[in-house]
Structure 1
C-alpha cells in the first residue's frame, strides 16, 4: 500500500448536505497526516493472510488520501443494505412505495441473526420503520422484509444507475447458506463504497432528497465499535454532535469478515472512507487484531479531520 501524492490546493466548495458555514483555515493535511500506523496495521494483517481493501478520500478536494487494493471486490456482509436503503428511499420519493405500507414478518423467512424486530411483540411494521431498524440496528429480519418488497433486480438496477460495477447485493440474510444460495449477502470494493458514501453526503445519490433520507437513517447506526470507536460518539445518540463532528457509517460483519464505510467531517477536513478485512477467524486474537486495525484507521481519520 502507498499514499498518493499531496492533495491539490483547489478545494471544492462546501456541500449543503454537510454543515453550513466555513471551516477554519486548515493545515496541509497530507503533510500533517500520513496514516503510517494504519498502513502498518493493514500490512501486518495482509502478511498474516488476510485480504484487505481500503480507501480514504478527501471530500473537499476529491483526492485520494489512502488507498490499498481498493478496486478488489470482497464480501461486505451487512454493509450491502446501503444500496437496499437507497432503493427504498427512491421508491418513497418516486411514489412507488408507501412509507406506511405494513409488512408482516410472517411472510419473511425467519433469521436469528442481528437485530431487534425478532424480539419485539409487533408482528408487522411500516416500511419506514423497517428502514430505521435496518440502518440503526443492523436488523436482518427488517432488511429481508424490505428486500422482499422491492426485490433484488430493483436494487441491482439502482446500483447500475449509480455507476457501481463491483458492488452487488446478492441475497437476503440467512441462518444457513446452502449450495443453491448465493455464497454471500453482498460484495463490494472499498473504492465504490467510499464513493457511495461521498455521494450520499454530497446529495448525489439518486437525488438530494434520497441522499438526505438515507444519510439520516444511517446516522442512527448503533455500531461504533470498529473505526468509529475513535470518534468518542455516543452509539445511541450521535446525529447532532456538540463538537461539530459529522459522522455517518455502516458496518458489515460475518464469520471472518469485518467491513466499515462512512463519512467523517470535522473542523479542518471531511473524508469518505471504507475498509474491508477478510481474515481467518481462528481465534479471538485473530478477530481482535482485525478490530484493532479498524480502530487505528479511526484514530488517524480523527487526526486528519481535526
Structure 2
C-alpha cells in the first residue's frame, strides 16, 4: 500500500498482525485496499488505500442482487418467473447450476444460487433479466461512485469484452454492507432480502475462516455471531466484504488484494492476510 493503514484510537483491539500481513503482501508487489468500520460508532477502525478502485470479481454481484430485490418489492419482476439456462451462453467458471439436471429455475432461486454459491450462470440469468443499465442506475442511486458492474461472467474475455466483471473500492464495499444490515439499502425490505441471500454464502475460506462457522449452515449461530459476507475471485484477485457482529461490537469490512499469481506462495500469502484480518475482527467483536 502506498500509505500505512490507520487505526482510530477508539478501536477496542489493535490490528497489528493485520498491518504486518498487509505490508508483507504489498511488499511482494500486490495492490491492497482495506476498510473496517465500527457499526455502532459509524467510524473507521482500519483504513488503507480504501478509495482505490480494484477488480473484485463476483463480489460485484451485490448491487445486482439489490436491484433484483428492489424489482421484486416494486412488482417489476415476479420472483417465480422461470428462467431457462438453454437461452443463456454457457459459462463454467463457477457455480453448481451447470451441474444440475434441472434446466430452469425461478428468478428467486437464481438469486439464492448467485449469493450462496457464486453461481456464474445464475448471475448471468439475473443480469440478462434486469439489464446492465438498470444495475448501473441502481449503483448510482446507492451513491457508489467508485464501483461498477461491467459485464457478465465469461469463460474467456475477448478484445471487445470488458476486462473485468466488476470494480469497487474497499470503502464503498464496507459502506454498502453497513447499509444492508442497517436497513438503509433502498428500503428495509430490500436490505433484509439481500442480507438473507448473502447470509447463505458458502465461501468462508478467507476472512470468514476465523469465525468457526459452518459454511453450509451459519444463519443462526448459538454464540451470538451475526455474519453476512460475499467474496470475489479472479486471476490474481481476491476480495471479500461483509458484516461481522458479536456481543461486544460489530464491524463492516472490505479487503481487496490484487497480486501477481506467479506461484502458490504468492496466492497463499494473499489468503493469509485475509485470515489474519478475520482473526483480529473476531477479537474486536468479542
Counterpart among 65, 71, 74 of residue 91 in structure 1 = 71
For 1:281, the equivalent position in structure 2 comes to 261
Question: SS of the residue aligned with 1:258?
Answer: strand
Question: Structure 1, residues 236-295: CA drift from partner, whole Å, max 9, x if none?
Answer: 000100101000000000110000000000000000000000000011111111000000
Instruction: Tell me how far apart the structure 2 counterparts of residues 255 and 275 of structure 1 sit (CA, whole Å).
Output: 16
Where in structure 2 are there 5+ consecutive unaligned residues?
none
For 1:173, the equivalent position in structure 2 comes to 153
Kindly tell me the number of residue pairs found equivalent between the two proteins.
283
For 2:9, the equivalent position in structure 1 comes to 6
Question: Structure 1, residues 143-193: CA drift from partner, whole Å, max 9, x if none?
Answer: 000000001000000010010010100000000000000000000000000
Contact 1:162 1:205 in 2 (8 A): yes
For 1:19, the equivalent position in structure 2 comes to none
Contact 2:5 2:49 in 1 (8 A): no
Question: SS of the residue aligned with 1:135?
Answer: helix
4+ residue stretches of structure 1 with deviation over 3 A?
Answer: none
Contact 2:95 2:119 in 1 (8 A): yes
2:194 aligned with 1:191: no
2:130 aligned with 1:156: no
Instruction: Tell me how far apart the structure 2 counterparts of residues 285 and 114 of structure 1 sit (CA, whole Å).
Output: 23
Instruction: Tell me how far apart the structure 2 counterparts of residues 193 and 79 of structure 1 sit (CA, whole Å).
Output: 9
Question: SS of the residue aligned with 2:6?
Answer: coil
2:138 aligned with 1:135: no
Matching of residues 53-64 of structure 1 within 5 Å: 53-64=33-44
2:103 aligned with 1:123: yes
Contact 2:8 2:46 in 1 (8 A): no
**Length-normalised TM-score, structure 2:** 0.98
Where in structure 1 are there 5+ consecutive unaligned residues?
8-29
Matching of residues 1-306 of structure 1 within 5 Å: 1-7=4-10, 30=11, 32-306=12-286
CA RMSD in angstroms comes to 0.6
